[in-house]
Amino acid sequence: MAKETKDFSKYFQPPSLTDAKKRGKEEISVHYDFTIPEDMLVFGANKFYMIRTYGCQMNEHDTEVMKGLLETMGYSSTEDKLQADVILLNTCAIRENAEDKVFGELGHLKALKAEKPGLVLGVCGCMSQEEAVVNRIMQKHGFVDLIFGTHNIHRLPSLLKEAYFSKEMVIEVWSKEGDIIENLPKKREGIRAWVNIMYGCDKFCTYCIVPFTRGKERSRRPQDVLAEVRDLARQGFKEITLLGQNVNAYGKDFEDLIYSFADLMEDISKIDVPRIRFTTSHPRDFDDRLIEVLGKRGNLVEHIHLPVQSGSTEVLKIMNRKYTREHYLTLAAKIRQTIPDVVLTTDIIVGFPGETDEQFEETISLVKEVGFDFAFSFIYSPREGTPAAAMEDNVPMELKKQRLYRLNEAINEFSKMSNEKLRGEIVEVLVEGESKNNPEVLSGRTRTNKMIHFVGSMEIVGKLVHVKITEPQTWVLKGEIVPEPIALA
């Protein structure tokens, strides 16, 4: 199986949905002694890597860890796949179109692999945790060298070495989640940073594969999160986003400590970072104490992403969301009462199995009642292994598309109206860089995460400035800089 006499059988560990569904009470250990094997520290010298990332911020953060590992091994980053010695596809399993993109990219890379046999081509991330996906890769994409999952990213150095020397596909996907590995190297770029505060999800929404691809909820220890945030503050990062599949559940798995997400936010608010964000919230766990802490503002921004998924209590029950329409509306009202200028954004699925016209209308009415500034809206697509995949998908695709169009129209209407209220206002903006569409224009984001374009010098990139809004549009704001920037800490 390998060019060496070494036994590689341990590197054939494909995922098992049966094992992934098991939720034991095994204690999760925290490890602080991570090191890269000494013989791997120069393994990547004079070699290049490229990582393509699909999906959510959690995947983006996983990519930062993989970049950190690879560069510690001596690799250099490249955006040229012809130059790359290692190409990794960090994948997403949430929706079918994300999966299609990955298999499409594998099709494009097949010819490159044929021209360049020494190239190591790997697939990692959430798709790798799916049994059916790995079987498909093994059967139809045998040119892939390496498959690993979300629980064993820290094993990349060893897995990469085996992929170089093995004749066969190296697969190591842990179906049961591993421990929490601290002190992993990360390569962060820019002025914003992501910080994982927990891993996994225990909510088991019927449409969602994440509890199986990311495992059960495991919270990092508060002292480790706070130490990482303080270090990022010292490095000069201006905005930090706390990440978790359900950040509101943070700390609920601690058996030796009473410490909630609200406690963490309060402690982080005392650290000298201009802006703190978090994603994603679950309405079921969003409590009054958290609202109270967020209401103190400071570096805790006035933007909350609060996925609702449907405005119908009946559909929410089938989705196993474990809250009602009324609960969500009450929660949104509480948040607005404490933070009147809050911007609420959400996720919504249309065409869920069995969704009636009346139930869809309830979603439209909820959107209008809450007044979301933005929503990630999706047509339902079944994910193999989830309970919803066994339900009759009885909403015609044409009707799903019509509902999506109507939903987006309703959201656009409020977004434009909300932005119009900002006309003439002066807002704080974190300048990110040149606009993607016009190099003569800068772009940045407000505290409420709205994109704004304005003319300014590249010298203010990475700084906080004041911008007067002159032309509100549906999705972006346009403005002009006010001469005096906000003093930096």
Q: Which of 175-184, 257-266, 290-299, 454-463 has the lowest mean pLDDT?
A: 175-184
**pLDDT of 9 above 80:** no
**pLDDT of 429 above 50:** yes
62 and 139 housed in the same domain? yes
144 and 221 housed in the same domain? no
85 and 149 housed in the same domain? yes
Per-residue confidence (pLDDT) for residue 69, from 0 to 100? 98
Residue pair 79/86 in contact by the 8 Å Cβ criterion: no
Per-residue confidence (pLDDT) for residue 22, from 0 to 100? 82
- Mean pLDDT value of segment 96-111: 92
154 and 74 housed in the same domain? yes
326 domain residue, yes or no = no
17 and 156 housed in the same domain? yes
Selection from 288, 322, 289, 295 nearest residue 308 by Cα: 322
264 and 157 housed in the same domain? no
Domains: count for the chain: 3
**pLDDT of 10 above 60:** yes
The pLDDT tens digits of the residues spanning 229-250 come to 999 999 999 999 999 999 999 9
Per-residue confidence (pLDDT) for residue 258, from 0 to 100? 97
397 domain residue, yes or no = no
Concatenating the DSSP letter of every residue in 123-169 gives EEEGGGG-HHHHHHHHHH-TT--EEE-SS-GGGHHHHHHHHHHBSS-
Which range marks the domain in which residue 244 is found?
188-301
323 domain residue, yes or no = no
CATH of the domain at 211: 3.30.750.210
20 and 131 housed in the same domain? yes
**pLDDT of 79 above 90:** yes
pTM above 0.85, yes or no: yes
141 and 275 housed in the same domain? no
248 domain residue, yes or no = yes
Q: Is 234 exposed, middle or buried (0-12, 13-18, 19+ CB in 10 A)?
A: exposed
Per-residue confidence (pLDDT) for residue 161, from 0 to 100? 95
Residue pair 218/177 in contact by the 8 Å Cβ criterion: yes
CATH of the domain at 442: 2.40.50.140
Distance (Å, whole) CA 47 – CA 67:
13
Per-residue confidence (pLDDT) for residue 179, from 0 to 100? 87
The token duo for 204 is 């088991």
Distance (Å, whole) CA 173 – CA 149:
5
Nearest-10 Cα torsion for 228, 202, 308, 324: -130
Identify the domain boundary among 301, 321, 347.
Answer: 301
74: left (phi over 0), alpha (psi -120 to 50) or beta: left
Per-residue confidence (pLDDT) for residue 96, from 0 to 100? 80
- Mean of the per-residue pLDDT values of the chain: 93
113 and 221 housed in the same domain? no
